[in-house]
Amino acid sequence: MQIKIKDQTGDFLLDVEFSGAEDGITALYGPSGAGKSSVVQIVAGLRRPQLAEIYLKDTCLFSSAKKINLPPEKRRIGYVFQDARLFPHLSVEANLNYGCKLTPENERFIEFDTVLSTLDIAKLLKRNVASLSGGEKQRIAIGRALLMSPSILLMDEPLNSLDSARKQELLPYIKEISQSFKVPILYVSHSPEEIRQLADKVIVMDAGRVTHSGSCESTLDSKF
């Protein structure tokens, strides 16, 4: 994944350039307001940058030079939001299937049953979305994003709305999916603990710029 973005909104200049690993978990780390979420939104196509070159493997998602701007539905990017954003009028099962159904069969490489067992959500299938706990919702959201067989999974502070016990509960699942499924993860967080437990590579952002990047140990240790 190659990302290069320049975007000015008001006083805030976002000017980043980095490449993410083709597998494993790459963490995007930095304090609130560093511009991490903007990067993820731009990569997913939910926000239009002024200048950018974004490549995922060989696919160009956005290029100012080539005048390419793929709409979000064509980017094949699984996005897990801070708030789970489950569709309240659909059952858990229909939520999980939403993206899966829209993926052509020959592009599906992630099995429904494997996702259910990895995330331990089989017993939730018939439940009403409103009756789920925060941790359960986030697991369904991760499953929903995985089931569209994405080329990459973007996770924007997925544990933020959970208490610390729930966070610890969810971390192993995230570690597990990066290993069981061949999907690289870009994981946004402001918590060094989470990153220590999860990430293979870290990109540190501050005030709209990349300040460090490298392996998890070297980067985090040099900073703290």
Partner 1 sequence: MTEWFQLSPFEWSALRLSLIVAIWAVTISLPFGIALAWVMARKQFPGKFLLDGLLHLPLVVPPVVVGYCLLVLFGRNGALGSWLESIGITLAFDWKGAVLAAAVMAFPLMVRAIRLSIESIDLGLEAAARTLGAKPLRVFFTITLPLALPGVLSGFILAFARCLGEFGATITFVSNIPGETQTLPLALYTYTQIPDGETGALKLCLIAIAIAILALIASEFCARWLQTRTQSENRRAD
How many Å apart are CA 14 and CA 49, to the nearest integer? 9
From 134, 180, 197, 201, residue interacting with partner 1 (rule: CB under 8 A)? 134
Choose between 63 and 82: whose C-beta lies nearer to partner 1: 82
Q: Residues 201, 216: contact at Cβ < 8 Å?
A: yes
Q: What is the CA radius of gyration of the chain?
A: 17
Spell out, one character per residue from 75 to 114, where the chain touches partner 1: x when CB under 8 A holds, - when not: xxxxx-x-x-xxxxx--------xx--xx-----------
Residue 144 binds partner 1, judged by CB under 8 A: yes
Stretch in the footprint of partner 1 (CB under 8 A) among 54-62, 110-118, 140-148, 199-207: 140-148
Stretch in the footprint of partner 1 (CB under 8 A) among 38-46, 48-56, 111-119, 197-205: 38-46
**C-alpha distances in Å from residue 5, one per residue of 9, 39, 50, 87, 213:** 13, 8, 8, 31, 16
**C-alpha distances in Å from residue 87, one per residue of 15, 37, 218:** 34, 22, 40
Spell out, one character per residue from 152 to 171, where the chain touches partner 1: x when CB under 8 A holds, - when not: ---------xxx--x-----
Residue 69 binds partner 1, judged by CB under 8 A: no
CB of 16 to partner 1, least distance (A): 21
From 37, 55, 72, 127, residue interacting with partner 1 (rule: CB under 8 A)? 72
The neighbour count for residue 127, using CB atoms within 10 Å, is 15
Q: Residues 161, 134: contact at Cβ < 8 Å?
A: yes
Which residues are CB-contacts of 155 (< 8 A; sequence separation ≥ 6)?
Answer: 80, 142, 174, 185, 186, 187, 188
CB of 220 to partner 1, least distance (A): 29
Q: Residues 180, 34: contact at Cβ < 8 Å?
A: no
CB of 98 to partner 1, least distance (A): 5
Question: Contact residues for partner 1 (CB under 8 A)?
Answer: 44-46, 71-73, 75-79, 81, 83, 85-89, 98-99, 102-103, 128-134, 136-137, 144-145, 148, 161-163, 166
